[in-house]
Amino acid sequence: MKYFPLRNSDIQISRIALGTWVFGGTHWGGSKQTDCIKAVHAAIDLGINLIDTAPIYGAGISETIIGKAIQNKRSKVILANKCGLLGKGKNITNNLTAKSIFTEIEGSLQRLKTDYIDIYQCHWPDPNTPLKETMTALAELKKQGKIRYIGVSNFNNELLEEAEQYAEITTLQNHYSILDREIETNALPYCRKHNINVLCYGPLAGGILSGKYTEPPTLEGSDARNFFYKYYKGEKFEQVTKLLEKLREFKRPLNQIAINWLLAQSGVSSVLVGARNAEQVKQNVEATTWTLSDNEIKIIKQNTIC
């Protein structure tokens, strides 16, 4: 495993991180707890030290599973967690008030069976709460030792700039993949300039970049691929299929191509990849053992769907 020295910190994070939305059992068709625990153990054994979760993932289920999995392994793990999304199913509200943050972290610490979180992130912006209140609350948690570093997720440049007025922002976690490249024209250049570490989620665009779908899948109404991604039906699906045909010429696993491409992008610190089981973790980690050629990167750029 390769590691990245997190700027403005005293820690190094693995270039591949374990994303655990699927552990929550909602939005992704469910998962077995035993498989999830084995996935965490496999990740740690393979050198992954960054594990990302959130209380909204299955109303605390993901955190609870991780808490069980990392017992006696806490020192090997950099825990990235989030706050600010409350509710279940489709009834989700944004709440980054100080009161809510102080309540949320206590529940997270209990479920994770730890007394501190390494990177604590605002999950999504809350337009109804002043950023000063949010960042001041996070700074207080840092002062108390309950969190080590402050991060934000899904923030644009304007919000990043404002947030930095009230607290030191160590990480930005935003959506980034071969298919979704908006970050390249805004947040990524900003973070390079201001020494903010970028964590990328959604590298496989919900799994479609793994090549597992030969035709548009039939998804349950609550499945995240219905509302979070735009490539699972109609013309977009056909466009992705043609792109994957080009990528297959590289003679590498498609999931690894997608991950490897992100690792090659300037400013990217770590790529968060979800996994249902240990075998998927192993397959994803293999992406760090080789490098795309300049010509392959050029081909991807020429055929990108944005």
Print pLDDT tens along the chain (306 aa): 999 999 989 999 999 999 998 898 675 566 789 999 999 999 999 999 999 999 999 999 999 999 999 999 999 999 999 999 998 666 889 999 999 999 999 999 999 999 999 999 999 999 999 999 999 999 999 999 999 999 999 999 999 999 999 999 999 999 999 999 999 999 999 999 999 999 999 999 988 999 988 877 776 666 666 566 677 778 888 999 999 999 999 999 999 999 999 999 999 999 999 999 999 999 999 999 999 999 999 999 887 776
Pairing of strands 117-122, 16-19: unpaired
Q: What letter represents residue 138's amino acid?
A: L
The answer to whether the CB of 283 falls within 8 A of the CB of 255 is yes
Cα R_g (the chain), whole angstroms: 18
Token readout for 112 is 């994770």
Question: Taking Cα atoms as reference points, which of 284, 282, 254 lies closest to residue 272?
Answer: 284
Q: Considering 3, 57, 229, 232, which one is annotated as catalytic?
A: 57
Instruction: Look at residue 227 in the predicted model and tell me its pLDDT.
Output: 62
In terms of DSSP H, where are the helices of 17-165? 33-45, 61-69, 98-112, 131-144, 157-163
Instruction: Give the model's pLDDT for residue 225.
Output: 64
Burial per residue of 148-161, b for 16 or more beta-carbon CB atoms within 10 angstroms, e otherwise: bbbbbbbbeeebbe
Distance CA 61, CA 56 (A): 9
- Catalytic residue at 57? yes
pLDDT at position 234: 82
Do 63 and 81 touch, CB atoms closer than 8 A?
yes
Nearest to 191 by CA among 207, 172, 176, 204: 172
Q: What is the pLDDT of residue 88?
A: 65
Domains located in the chain, CATH noted: 3-208+256-292 (3.20.20.100)
Residue type at position 15: R
Instruction: Return the pLDDT at 89.
Output: 61
Six token digits for residue 131: 């950023």
pLDDT of residue 287: 96
Q: What is the pLDDT of residue 271?
A: 98
Residues 6+ apart with CB under 8 A from 280: 39
- The whole-model pTM stands at 0.93
Provide the pLDDT for residue 81.
98
DSSP run (H or E) holding 175: strand 169-175
* Sign of the CA dihedral with 21 first, then 22, 28, and 30 last: negative
- Token pair for residue 62? 């993901």
The burial class, CB within 10 Å (0-12 / 13-18 / 19+), for 195 is exposed
C-beta of residue 163 within 8 angstroms of C-beta of residue 169: yes
Collapsing DSSP states into helix, strand and coil, what is residue 306? Answer: coil
C-alpha distances out from residue 199 to 59, 118, 220, 270, Å? 23, 14, 29, 5
φ, ψ for residue 201 (rounded to 5)? -115, 165
